[in-house]
């Protein structure tokens, strides 16, 4: 197993070609038709049996000897962003691009599957391969992970563990980072509607200005994080959209606001939700207005399983050396529906360094100029493949 990275380097051209084909054919959640066909084609070429769930794909590598089962997961959808990278393989679909690295995730998992399928006669146990659509589709509640789980992706056989990776452009290509404890936050969404009384802009005393009320609500909401959440915890309340009125001299009758909240535990999640309702309703009442909160729980947060992330850490050190394995203490407040899979089996996710300042590769995730240093691909494929073997052999 010690030469897995060497083997991954030998298929680097395959990894790059695959990633670029996926990038060129970027598609939005639940519409990954071409992407799904590419994945199916590659699994068929590897001799790996698979089944299709919508646009998702589930493959299975069975070893000669019965044993445990581990799953690898890749998200396959892109974002509604107009690409500005100028790459020769830029997305052919206008206003759709792989700005979150899902093309790289899919290429790495396909690469790991290719490596493992070539040695399946020596594998004890099974490796399930999950290609999941619609990771970015957090609202409404329907998303690719839950849809695949409902269709039985985590059954027959049921995985004893599930692993994944996510590209990280602040992270340097050639390195991986591991986190113990919380990794991703609870990602919830909300809508606030403030009902006032419209009127003439020159006669505000005859109206109840919902814009004024909304402004007070926005400011007051920030007190939840500063005064109700422990300073040792992390939480976020963000208003991302405000819509009110249509012209400059009319006080509108209502304001619509939308946003997101993030928290790292269920206790803080509940504090935020109840605190928001209280502040929104009472602030509006103080102005003689009325406001309502529509709160939607999104992706649950998740923490890495201690034993499984330790296994991936040791695997990374053996493959790349200690200096290439970085410890990241802090969780990200981003959401990730990999968490749904980890509700059913112990899970671990590593961050794959994919940035390179010398090459000008440093744009953050979800940026129109986001791209990766493709030398990261063999790193990702090899650490996934070797982690699977390590888990199955119980070393």
pLDDT tens digits, 123-149? 999 999 999 999 998 655 689 999 999
Helix-strand-coil split of the chain, %, nearest 5:
35, 30, 35
374 classed as catalytic:
yes
Say whether pLDDT at 330 is over 60.
Answer: yes
Q: Which domain holds residue 162?
A: 4-184+301-393
The pLDDT mean for the chain works out to 96
Report the CATH number at residue 100: 3.40.630.10
Share above pLDDT 90 across residues of the chain, in percent, rounded to a whole number:
97
Say whether pLDDT at 395 is over 60.
Answer: no
- Both 256 and 290 in one domain: the answer is yes
User: Over the stretch 208-220, which tens digit does the pLDDT of each residue have?
Assistant: 999 999 999 999 9
Count of structural domains, the chain: 2
Select from 314, 375, 321, 374 the least CA-distant residue to 350.
314
- Both 140 and 211 in one domain: the answer is no
Last residue of a domain, one of 273, 299, 325: 299
203 classed as catalytic:
no
Distance of CA 371 to the CA centre of its chain: 16
- Both 137 and 83 in one domain: the answer is yes
Q: Which of 14, 50, 299, 340 is catalytic?
A: 299
The pLDDT score that the predictor gives to residue 142 is: 82
The pLDDT score that the predictor gives to residue 138 is: 64
CB 144 within 8 A of CB 137: yes
pTM summary value: 0.94
- Both 165 and 276 in one domain: the answer is no
User: Over the stretch 348-379, which tens digit does the pLDDT of each residue have?
Assistant: 999 999 999 999 999 999 999 999 999 999 99
Q: Which of 32, 147, 374, 386 is catalytic?
A: 374
Q: Which ranges of the chain would DSSP assign to H, the alpha helix? A: 4-10, 12-24, 33-46, 102-117, 144-150, 210-223, 266-286, 306-320, 338-342, 376-393
Widest distance between CA atoms in the chain: 81
Last residue of a domain, one of 280, 299, 318: 299
């Amino acid at each position: 197993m010690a030469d897995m990275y060497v083997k991954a380097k030998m298929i680097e051209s395959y990894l790059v070609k695959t990633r670029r084909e996926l990038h060129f054919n970027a598609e939005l959640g639940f519409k990954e038709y071409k992407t799904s066909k590419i994945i199916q084609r590659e699994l068929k070429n590897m001799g790996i049996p698979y089944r299709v769930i919508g646009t998702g794909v589930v493959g299975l590598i069975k070893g000669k000897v019965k044993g445990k089962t581990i799953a690898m997961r890749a998200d396959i959808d892109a974002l509604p962003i107009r690409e500005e990278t100028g790459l020769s393989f830029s997305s052919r679909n206008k206003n759709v691009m792989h700005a979150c690295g899902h093309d790289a995730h899919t290429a790495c998992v396909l690469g790991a599957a290719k490596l493992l399928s070539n040695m399946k006669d020596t594998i004890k146990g099974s490796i399930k391969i999950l290609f999941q659509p619609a990771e970015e589709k957090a609202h409404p509640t329907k998303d690719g992970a839950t849809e695949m789980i409902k269709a039985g992706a985590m059954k027959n056989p049921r995985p004893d563990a599930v692993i994944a990776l996510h590209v990280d452009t602040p992270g340097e290509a050639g390195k991986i980072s591991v986190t113990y404890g919380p990794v991703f936050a609870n990602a919830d969404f909300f809508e606030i509607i403030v009902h006032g009384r419209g009127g003439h802009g020159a006669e505000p005393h005859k109206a109840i200005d919902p814009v004024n009320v909304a402004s007070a609500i926005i400011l007051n909401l920030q007190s939840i994080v500063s005064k109700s959440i422990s300073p040792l915890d992390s939480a976020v309340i963000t208003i991302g959209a405000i819509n009110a009125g249509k012209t400059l001299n009319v006080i509108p009758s209502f304001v619509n606001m939308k946003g997101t909240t993030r928290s790292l535990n269920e206790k803080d999640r509940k504090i935020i939700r109840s605190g928001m309702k209280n502040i929104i309703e009472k602030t509006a009442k103080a102005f003689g207005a009325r406001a309502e909160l529509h709160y939607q729980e999104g992706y649950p947060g998740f923490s890495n399983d201690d034993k499984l992330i330790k296994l991936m850490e040791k695997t990374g050190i053996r493959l790349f050396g200690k200096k290439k394995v970085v410890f990241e203490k802090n969780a990200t407040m981003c959401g990730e529906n990999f968490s749904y899979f980890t509700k059913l089996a112990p899970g671990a996710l590593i961050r794959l360094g994919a940035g390179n300042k010398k090459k000008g590769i440093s744009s953050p995730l979800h940026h129109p100029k986001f791209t990766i240093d493709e030398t990261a691909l063999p790193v990702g494929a090899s650490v996934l493949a070797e982690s699977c073997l390590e888990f199955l052999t119980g070393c």
